Amino acid sequence: MLYSEKVMEHFRNPRNVGKIEDADGVGEVGNAKCGDIMKIYLKIEGDVIVDVKFNTFGCASAIASSSMATEMIKGKPLSDALALTNKAVAEALDGLPAHKLHCSVLAQQAVRAAIKDYYDRNGVACDKAQLSVIDCEDGHCE
Ligand code: FES
């Protein structure tokens, strides 16, 4: 079986799909090679992500990764969301096939892009290094 049960479950029944009209931060990222696009909307109060929605035009792994990533950052402080790695998303999904790890990278990037948008809108100085995405320790994301 290529995909774990969890990947299939999140693909068939993704959480937090949609759009937040008055979002405080929106992040859109794409992967040039596969053409998949992921957009994440954040509603932020104080320092906490009180709501999150996503729209993903992409493969099953990208949809499952977006779904899982939104579940992992909902109700959490921004610092937790910034620390979210693609590895943690993939692990929470009980793993992704090696050639599909880049799909979880997209989720990590989209979350950070949305937080960066929030910081930019509010003129908050932030640690750019933290936002400049991506550590592909496994060497599999492309
Ligand atoms: Fe590109 Fe999954 S194949 S995000």
> Is the distance from the beta carbon of residue 106 to the nearest atom of ligand 1 less than 6 Å?
yes
Is position 136 within any domain? no
Q: By alpha-carbon position, which residue is closest to atom 4 of ligand 1?
A: 103
- What is the domain range of residue 90? 5-122
Q: Is the whole-model pTM more than 0.85?
A: yes
141 a catalytic residue: no
pLDDT tens-digit map of 9-34: 999 999 999 999 999 999 999 988 88
Task: Please answer whether residues 87 and 72 qualify as being in contact, where contact means their C-beta atoms are separated by less than 8 angstroms.
Answer: no
Judge whether 138 lies within some domain: no
Nearest-10 Cα torsion for 98, 99, 103, 109: 80
**Contact assessment for residue 69 and residue 111, using Cβ atoms and an 8 Å cutoff:** yes
What amino acid occupies position 62?
A
Two structure tokens written together for 61: 């792994």
> For the segment 79-91, what is each residue's pLDDT rounded down to a tens digit?
999 999 999 999 9
Structure confidence by residue, pLDDT tens digits, 32-66: 888 999 999 999 999 999 999 999 999 999 999 99
Contact 73 CB / ligand 1 (< 6 Å): no
For residue 56, the domain's CATH number is 3.90.1010.10
Number of the ligand 1 atom closest to the C-alpha atom of 35: 1
Specify if 128 maps to a domain. Answer: no
68: in domain: yes
